[in-house]
Structure 1
Amino acid sequence: MTKLFFASVSALALSSAAVAREAAPDQDPRWVDVITVTGQSALTSDQDAVILDLAPATAPDAAGLAARLPGAALVNNGALSGQVQYRGLYGARIAVRLDGQAFHSGGPNLMDPPLHYAPAPLLDRLEVTRGPAPVSQGPSLSAGVNAVFKHIDYAQTARPELQGDLTTVVRSVDESHAIGGVAGLAIDRQRFELLASTERGEDRDTPYGTLVGTGHERDVYGFGYGVRLAPRTELTADFRRQEGGPTGNPPFPMDIRFMDTSTSRLGLNTQWGGWGVSVSAEHARVDHAMNNFDLRPAPMPMRQRETLASSETVRFSLDADRAFQGGVARVGLDRADIRHDTTITNPMNPDFQVTPFPDVELARTGVYAEWEGPAAGYELYAGLRLDAHDAQAGEPRLGTALPMGPRMLALTFTRAERDWDDVTLDGLVRIARPVSDSVTMRGALARKSRVGGQVERYGWLPITASGGLADGNTYVGSLDLEPEVATSLEVGFDFANARAYLRPTAYVSWVEDYIQGVPAEPITPGVADTPLEMVSAMNGDPTPLRFSNVDARLYGLDADFGLVLTQAWRVDGVLTYMRGEREDVDNDLYRISPASLRLSATYQQAVWSVSLETLMVAEQDRVSRENNEAETPGHVLLNAYGHWDVSERVRLSAGVENLLDQPYRDHLGGYNRNAGLGVPVGERIPGAGAGAWLRMNARF
């Protein structure tokens, strides 16, 4: 790693991150990092949160934007299926919301992780908490991510105002284009907006050749309405419909045929008895189909598969806050009910169908209380959360074409106790203390929890559905899974003056009952001498894994830093180092991002800037043996981008990623399962080649 970093120091003068620092609205800046997609002002010295005012438009997936933050990385499972990894944790372990709304994925392989529903033309910014998320954001083990969408503001007077925000993006690396935005009318007491976005992309180019079957399609439309019923009372209504078309997912055994999702929310904000009160009712419905023959070579008729999956989330919440003891106290109650169902079919054989996760119902009821404010010269946050969970699953349904092996496993599952319930307790304390005008010390101690999902608990049939792991292994669940409980400690400081800033954080997290795949039959692994192993071998893997509770530890160091050299020149950087280890056995956790360093330099004038950036990624040789994880070498990429403010309302941005067309394979990129991709099956999928992009944003 050291050689890789120092070999690239000469590129420092040619690099840029375009980082600005500004406090996020309504939140303590010590707790939140913010990436703005639309771009804001230049570097200032008196603001604490990070804004990337020139976030490169190198991919359609918004998860790649969050991956530019310290401690974060992108789990790239396809053009529209990326997940954010934060300090080694990803998937449901991160509390991801869309304009404050949270709902469950529609597919068992997490082809639609939350940021799948955040197309760039509609996105205003991504807010990412540093470290564990506040308890008010719900249960999770790690950071909170909120994708904030563009909206129309209320006008200042009763005279109607037309407002709008339009963004269009084109990219050469996948011949893609996207256009969309929001427009509407507003007066001082009402606002109405329409939103729409459409995007299409073709196969992605890499230095190794074109990846066939990696195109994408996504359309979104909806509306929003707000009315001020009184000076301190507002009623809001929002609806979004997203229709995803054929989209390649080479790390998975199938590709997206469609992903149709509707989300709606009603909200009421008011004042009552000295309390600020917010009430919301939310609904989301996902209908999803995926198959292994439309975007890749079709297997023989008996091996063709199409999976139909659905998910429905209904959520209610009540939150209240008021001034208390010099700070702000908040209390809340929320309830979420989720239903999942998945059916695997063979379009060539109507008698072949099976439900690997039959009629799963998950429910959670939670209460929380938190306070933040000054205390004896410190800035303090303290919160507690209690959640009651319950889950159940129906009986598997099998067509007449299913052989005896799956029928035996289905019978065992049917006879088992499938109802489950438990209670989890979360707590978080954050503390910060200014020690000078330019230095603030900070720390956090947390106990956070997460319960297993439908795949981890109720998967009775050994298939490659893994909740987004995309490692090619077959998995089954465990009905007796205990909740994951993470005890986390972090310390750091913020330094900022008129010329420089530095924000390092060291952290460690001990996770009791961490959920990971382990050998399903550890006594004679690789020998198909049980019904489970025999069925798994029929599905191509004689060594199935079972989601089980283990003990784990994650630790690392991340930081961002910068220096203003002259009135026009500045340099910035982001360092991320993380490790994930099993504590019960001598093994590493699966899919942990290698160390990386992003160094940059920017030349900025009043209405334009140019940036060059180098990303240095170390080799990753600390891999999970149980997941058959392959090592990856390090690599260095050079990127260039810039912007021009044509007017106060129009901005043009452009850039080139992987300027030198460097061949590389991202460690989190997954393994190829598409025989027609142009990369051997089982090899790690290569990263994108050299490609130019152009973005225009116009506001009126």
Structure 2
Amino acid sequence: MEQISVIGTRRPFTQAADTAALFRDVPGFSSYKTGGIASLPVLNGMADDRVATFVDGMPLMADCPNHMNPALSQISLDEVAHSVAIAGITPVSLGGDSTGGTISVERKDPQFAKEGKVLITGDGREDWRSNGGGSGAGGSLTIANDMLSLRYSGSYTHASDYTAGGRGGRVLSSNYLSFNHDVTAGLKLKNHLFSLTFGQQNTPYEGFPNQYMDETNNRSTFVNGKYLGTFNWGTLEARGYWQHVTHAMNMLADKGGHSATTGMPMNSDGRTAGYSLVATLPLGRSHQLKLGSAFSHDGLNDWWPPLEGSMMMGPEAFHSLNHAHRDHLGHFIQWDAQWSPRWSSELGMRSDVIMMNTGTVSPYQGLSSMSDMGMNMGGSMMGMGGMAGMDMSNMGMSGMSMGSTNQEAARAFNKARRGRTDDNFDVTALLRYKANAYLNIEGGYARKTRSPNLYERYGWSRESMTARMINWFGDGNGYVGNLNLKPEVANTASVTFRLHDAADHQWEAMVQPFYTYTHNYINVVRIGALSRGFNLLQFENHNAQSYGINASGRATLWDGDKWGTGEISTQLNWVKGQDFKTHSGLYQQMPLNGSIRLHEHFGPWHGMAEIVLVKAKHTVDWVRNEPRTPGYALLNLGAGYHWSKYLQLDVSLDNLLNQRYALPLGGRAVSTAGSPPGPVLGMGRSVNLTLREHF
């Protein structure tokens, strides 16, 4: 398996808010910040929905048109025991309906005591960040005997708006507050393990610098059951899950505030339920067969309540998605073989059926009635029901013709046949060769398929303000769905060369070139112009390619009693994408970037010095007016001390030189001035403290 990261504990100096930070050392991985809690993953230039993301085996989608609550935001970093990230050539056993790869995070399995004993154990964490006044805490407590286990885990994280480097000033709408609670019960009977987790996440608010909206409430409740059994014929893993998400958007104080008579309330309600079964059958000593079946149902309602006293946003609700659903039924077979001590292979095939539909929709009726009256507001605030502080002209509300536009769009959408079924097929082939004691080679091919998400297919509004509310890209444009979209089919070829010392302890180097050709890549075309240099875009199938090289290396510089152990590690990632129809770059491709890190361990002490290097971003998607960003270098330092295994203190200095820099994948700061506004700025200097306890 390529580009894999399995992590048992959180790495030192990592702040607790963003679970995606677990993967920042994985070659080919990058992420783009939306809110402070929610980073969206990118693997080899494939972002967000193109990466299948699992939390405890649940394939979770964002229940929001701006993807403010993606899967990795729904689990605290404290609770992650195992994590995997694989780009490109993903084994079919790790999921389908993705073209970029797979990310999976798992909570700890239940802990049990030795026979006749009682186990009481737990851990805690407290952290603080100077930039933005961030703080957080978390902990867990387990009580168990040799058969039964009960664990409670809880955490919270909070921050105010952070300050950009240099003289960048405060980055508006970058504040957040979130709580997580869950209880896990476990039962162990000989070769059988049962676990059941019930949990809830509550996010009262989260700001988004690159969105017109902020998250004003998000509550997620879930139940997840797992069974793992060992039999004479092999192993069986079974999971069942259910999740309910209620999500609300409006504008926090720095965008004009929200109440019953201000802002623009937007609500969504999502439900996920499903199962997965995986049987592993040894076929002799050298071969293994995996068989699997899975089903997941995702249902979503997206409606915008009428604004009290508004002549435009009412008098009835706006229905963006009405009882929409996306059902996924998948089956796979995977054969792993060890042909000789030097040669091994993996061959897998997968079938996925994606069934989608949605009910009839409706726009604000008030817009149409005002249009019929021939009223032209010219982007002013007159008659807006007291929406002071919300600059509607920035959102393109220049005239009442938008009411009739949405009426016509809704009528056409409601008359159309909306049900769609996609029959997708994936295949993965990998060959591994151990050339000698110093060189391993792995090469392979994958055919991966992804069907559109609900908004790519069913976003119907063509009016400026409402279309801009569908934008998980953070670029300020407005997006319109397309009922005629076809699934993406990505063909990826990759080879990995890994050099290492004979003992595999002192040094290693990895180089991995890859190429992906995507048929029916879901991109966009311009269908209209909006204010402030933005555009109205519609999803459309194109053909595209992406290619690049990932490289990494590490070496032990010294190892002895006098100076402890010192290790240097490096990483380099480069990817380039191109749309064959528009001849533009693909959106949100990270420019050439890398890092150099020096670690030292000396008794109870450990320290780190790191330089992060990012080249200027020149290749952009001109269709979306993606901003170019200058290159930058950041210096980070860290040190820590642990007292036995029970207490550890970490201190770090991020962006020590307070470098001003723009986030290459961060989109545009739409709540600031400018036509169009500039890119979102990264965080300036910050002192971070983390204290961990274990008992």
Shift of the alpha carbon at 1:608? 1.4
Secondary structure of the 1:455 match is: helix
Q: Is the 8 A contact 1:248 1:295 kept in 2?
A: no
Shift of the alpha carbon at 1:346? 4.2
Please name the residue that 2:579 is paired with. Answer: 582
Q: In the alignment, does 2:551 pair up with 1:555? A: no
Q: Is the 8 A contact 1:95 1:133 kept in 2?
A: no
Q: In the alignment, does 2:662 pair up with 1:665? A: yes
State the AA in 2 paired with 1:395.
T
Equivalent of 1:373 in 337, 350, 353: 337
Q: In the alignment, does 2:321 pair up with 1:341? A: no
Shift of the alpha carbon at 1:595? 0.6
Equivalent of 2:358 in 393, 397, 400: 393
Equivalent of 2:519 in 489, 512, 515: 512
Please name the residue that 1:621 is paired with. Answer: 618
Please name the residue that 1:184 is paired with. Answer: 142
Please name the residue that 1:285 is paired with. Answer: 244
Equivalent of 1:570 in 567, 571, 576: 567
Equivalent of 2:5 in 26, 30, 33: 33
Q: In the alignment, does 2:481 pair up with 1:474? A: no
Q: In the alignment, does 2:68 pair up with 1:68? A: no
Shift of the alpha carbon at 1:297? 2.2
Secondary structure of the 2:410 match is: helix
TM-score normalised by structure 1 residue count: 0.87
Q: How does 1:370-519 map to 2 (within 5 A)?
A: 370-376=334-340, 377-403=342-368, 404-462=404-462, 463-466=467-470, 468-497=472-501, 498-519=505-526
Equivalent of 1:653 in 650, 654, 657: 650
Please name the residue that 1:331 is paired with. Answer: 291
Deviates more, 1:328-337 or 1:148-157: 148-157
Q: How does 1:52-201 map to 2 (within 5 A)?
A: 53-54=11-12, 56-58=13-15, 60-139=17-96, 140-201=98-159
Please name the residue that 1:306 is paired with. Answer: 265
Please name the residue that 1:261 is paired with. Answer: 220
Shift of the alpha carbon at 1:562? 1.2
Please name the residue that 1:43 is paired with. Answer: none
Q: Is the 8 A contact 1:485 1:514 kept in 2?
A: yes
- Say if 1:272 and 1:295 are closer, same or farther in 2 by CA, change over 3 A: farther
Shift of the alpha carbon at 1:151? 4.8
* CA distance in structure 2 between the aligned counterparts of 1:279 and 1:300, rounded to whole angstroms: 45
Secondary structure of the 1:410 match is: helix
Q: Is the 8 A contact 2:126 2:690 kept in 1?
A: yes
Shift of the alpha carbon at 1:646? 1.5
Q: Is the 8 A contact 1:88 1:580 kept in 2?
A: yes
Structure 2: which 5+ runs fail to align? 369-403, 560-564
Q: Is the 8 A contact 1:122 1:197 kept in 2?
A: no
Describe the superposition over 1:46-82 as per-residue Cα deviations: whole angstroms up to 9, x where unpaired.
xxxxxxx43x324621223323321111211110121
* CA distance in structure 1 between the aligned counterparts of 2:80 and 2:365, rounded to whole angstroms: 47
Q: Is the 8 A contact 2:212 2:670 kept in 1?
A: yes
* CA distance in structure 1 between the aligned counterparts of 2:249 and 2:551, rounded to whole angstroms: 40
Q: How does 1:597-636 map to 2 (within 5 A)?
A: 597-636=594-633
State the AA in 1 paired with 2:661.
Y
Describe the superposition over 1:377-400 as per-residue Cα deviations: whole angstroms up to 9, x where unpaired.
312111110011111110003443
Please name the residue that 1:216 is paired with. Answer: 176
Shift of the alpha carbon at 1:329? 1.0
Deviates more, 1:123-132 or 1:166-175: 123-132
Q: In the alignment, does 2:359 pair up with 1:362? A: no
Shift of the alpha carbon at 1:605? 1.0
Please name the residue that 1:24 is paired with. Answer: none
* CA distance in structure 2 between the aligned counterparts of 1:554 and 1:291, rounded to whole angstroms: 36
State the AA in 2 paired with 1:313.
T
* CA distance in structure 2 between the aligned counterparts of 1:515 and 1:286, rounded to whole angstroms: 27
Deviates more, 1:160-169 or 1:339-348: 339-348
State the AA in 1 paired with 2:61.
H
* CA distance in structure 2 between the aligned counterparts of 1:424 and 1:631, rounded to whole angstroms: 36
* CA distance in structure 2 between the aligned counterparts of 1:591 and 1:145, rounded to whole angstroms: 18
Please name the residue that 1:19 is paired with. Answer: none
Q: Is the 8 A contact 1:674 1:681 kept in 2?
A: no
- Say if 1:466 and 1:89 are closer, same or farther in 2 by CA, change over 3 A: farther
Please name the residue that 2:689 is paired with. Answer: 694
Q: Percent identity?
A: 21
State the AA in 1 paired with 2:445.
L
Shift of the alpha carbon at 1:433? 1.0
- Say if 1:129 and 1:541 are closer, same or farther in 2 by CA, change over 3 A: same
Q: Is the 8 A contact 2:247 2:267 kept in 1?
A: yes
* CA distance in structure 2 between the aligned counterparts of 1:300 and 1:644, rounded to whole angstroms: 48
Shift of the alpha carbon at 1:370? 0.6
Q: Is the 8 A contact 1:353 1:402 kept in 2?
A: no
Q: Is the 8 A contact 1:161 1:185 kept in 2?
A: yes
Please name the residue that 1:237 is paired with. Answer: 196
Q: Is the 8 A contact 1:346 1:352 kept in 2?
A: yes
Please name the residue that 2:235 is paired with. Answer: 276
State the AA in 2 paired with 1:338.
D
Q: Is the 8 A contact 2:224 2:239 kept in 1?
A: yes
* CA distance in structure 2 between the aligned counterparts of 1:195 and 1:466, rounded to whole angstroms: 34
User: Number of residues paired by the alignment?
Assistant: 639
- Say if 1:302 and 1:554 are closer, same or farther in 2 by CA, change over 3 A: farther
* CA distance in structure 1 between the aligned counterparts of 2:82 and 2:654, rounded to whole angstroms: 21
Please name the residue that 1:319 is paired with. Answer: 278
Q: Is the 8 A contact 2:526 2:537 kept in 1?
A: yes
Q: Is the 8 A contact 2:258 2:264 kept in 1?
A: no
Shift of the alpha carbon at 1:212? 3.3
Q: Is the 8 A contact 1:35 1:66 kept in 2?
A: no
* CA distance in structure 1 between the aligned counterparts of 2:319 and 2:663, rounded to whole angstroms: 34
* CA distance in structure 1 between the aligned counterparts of 2:640 and 2:265, rounded to whole angstroms: 44
* CA distance in structure 2 between the aligned counterparts of 1:110 and 1:158, rounded to whole angstroms: 49
Secondary structure of the 2:200 match is: strand
Q: Cα RMSD (Å) of the superposition?
A: 2.2
Q: Is the 8 A contact 1:672 1:680 kept in 2?
A: no
State the AA in 2 paired with 1:662.
Q
Secondary structure of the 1:210 match is: coil
Describe the superposition over 1:77-130 as per-residue Cα deviations: whole angstroms up to 9, x where unpaired.
110121111100111111211122222211111001111112233233532125
Secondary structure of the 1:184 match is: strand
